[in-house]
Amino acid sequence: MLPATLQTRVVIVGGGPSGLLLGQLLHLAGIDAIVLEKKSREYVLGRIRAGVLERGMVQLLEQAGVDKRLQREGFTHDGTIIAFNNEYFRVPFSKYIDKPVTVYGQTEVTRDLYEARESVGAPTYSNAEEVSINNADTDTPSVTFVQGDTRYTINCDFVAGCDGFHGVSRKTIPDDQRKEFEKVYPFGWLGVLSDTPPVHEELIYANSPRGFALCSMRNASLSRYYIQCESNDDANRWSDEDFWRELKNRLPQEFAEQLVTGPSIEKSIAPLRSFVCEPMRWGRLFLCGDAAHIVPPTGAKGLNTAASDVQYLYQAFKSYYHNNDSAGIDNYSATALARVWKVTRFSWWMTTLLHRFPGQSDFDLRVQQAELDFLKQSDEAQAAMAINYVGLPY
């Protein structure tokens, strides 16, 4: 194994949306960073993920100069449909807050970020293996990794752990220095991507006696649908016909009749959990995005909460390097966690409101139906949902 030593200011572990967005913002601020990604570019871009962007995320992408395609191809939504008991109502976000959301595939966000990083020639190592973060609790941290037949050592000032839930960063914080909070939901989401026109111009979140369903989209001819399924279900057990039939059974008849079905081009099951790690900093290591927290996809908050972490961390590094001010760095964990917990609560609330839970008692069902009725009838309840769904301020 050949040795090689590199030097940079910030090592970003993880080349997903968090890592690439932070890298692009730091590059534009003249702060050197190296991105280490475990997988290949093709693998990263092959992931199908959610597609609702808060205004804050869109503004960050504008700031990063990565919003051209998004502005061209993204759909602006200022409301969503909530369906239950074969009826439905619309929550008009713009009636309560002038902050529409943008529907644009997360895979496309990652693609745009990869292309931006490649265009500026910023150092990115894909297929980076055996990444190890060393001496993060000292003033001289370093990161080692293997690529091909070379073992690299990067001497740096800071490490941004943007390597997702299964990454190495969170586990670098000693067990006795971190506290993890977790809630595992007793169901998963079976998702299908299809070359079919969306069933409706806005998203439909449905609570039906057979379970939750969601109708979303990527563009005018590419739709994304989900149905609640058993946690241990197998996507291969579901034929397309079975999926479409079950989805129709969970939608109000008006939408079920309009649904255009077709062959699935992707079919997969995702588990649902809420997870938060405290703190989001240890010495010169900072956790960002899924490395620090996971939300159930019901509120479409995964990428958007990664974005708020990135914004806080980017501003902290910029203040440190440009103004010799470490306040942002010192306050990062508390500032990020304050918003993370509000988003965690909202994602839990939407998940609890819209799913059928195993063993739900008749009392539980009446309470759930009453909450849906209250949301349907109350401007204040809808305002609270709208303010959270479109994105809390950073």
Q: What residue ranges bind ligand APR (CB under 6 A)?
A: 13-19, 36-39, 44, 49, 106, 128, 131, 162-164, 166-168, 289-290, 302-303, 306
> How far is residue 234's CA from residue 253's CA, in Å, rounded to a whole number?
27
Tokens 């050197």 map to which residue? 32
The continuous run of DSSP H or E covering 343 comes out as helix 327-354
> How far is residue 293's CA from residue 165's CA, in Å, rounded to a whole number?
7
Nearest to 394, CA basis, from 326, 320, 342: 342
Q: State the binding partner of 246 from ligand APR, ligand PHB, none, CB within 5 to 8 A by kind.
A: none
Say if residue 4 is exposed, middle or buried (CB neighbours under 10 Å; 0-12, 13-18, 19+): exposed
Active site residues: 77, 205, 297, 301, 389
**Closest separation in Å from C-beta 311 to ligand PHB:** 21
**Closest separation in Å from C-beta 26 to ligand APR:** 15
> How far is residue 246's CA from residue 243's CA, in Å, rounded to a whole number?
5
**Closest separation in Å from C-beta 346 to ligand APR:** 15
- Binding-site member from 8, 124, 207, 298 for ligand PHB (CB under 6 A): 298
Please tell me what DSSP assigns to residue 355: S
Nearer to ligand PHB, 154 or 307 (CB): 307
> How far is residue 132's CA from residue 380's CA, in Å, rounded to a whole number?
49
Q: Which 183-212 positions form the footprint of ligand PHB (CB under 6 A)? A: 203
Please report, as a single letter, which amino acid is at residue 357: F
Nearer to ligand APR, 302 or 328 (CB): 302
Tokens at 287, concatenated = 């956790």
Tokens 């998702």 map to which residue? 191
Percent helix, strand, coil in the chain, to 5, is 40, 30, 30
Part of the chain binding ligand PHB (CB under 6 A), chosen from 20-28, 243-251, 298-306, 366-374: 298-306
Q: Is 137 in contact with 282 (CB distance < 8 Å)?
A: yes
Part of the chain binding ligand PHB (CB under 6 A), chosen from 46-54, 91-99, 119-127, 370-378: 46-54
Nearer to ligand PHB, 204 or 276 (CB): 204
- Binding-site member from 58, 136, 300, 306 for ligand PHB (CB under 6 A): 300
**Closest separation in Å from C-beta 34 to ligand PHB:** 31
Cα within 13 Å of Cα(311), Cβ side: 20
**Closest separation in Å from C-beta 304 to ligand PHB:** 10
Nearer to ligand APR, 159 or 259 (CB): 159
Pairing of strands 285-287, 281-282: antiparallel
Part of the chain binding ligand PHB (CB under 6 A), chosen from 68-76, 149-157, 177-185, 296-304: 296-304
Nearer to ligand PHB, 223 or 261 (CB): 223
Residue 52 in contact with ligand PHB, rule: CB under 6 A: yes
Please report, as a single letter, which amino acid is at residue 44: V
> How far is residue 315's CA from residue 330's CA, in Å, rounded to a whole number?
12
Nearer to ligand APR, 23 or 372 (CB): 23
- Binding-site member from 14, 51, 56, 188 for ligand PHB (CB under 6 A): 51
Tokens at 354, concatenated = 């819209």
Give the number of residues in contact with ligand PHB, rule: CB under 6 A: 11
Q: Which residues bind ligand PHB (CB under 6 A)?
A: 50-52, 203, 214, 216, 224, 297-300
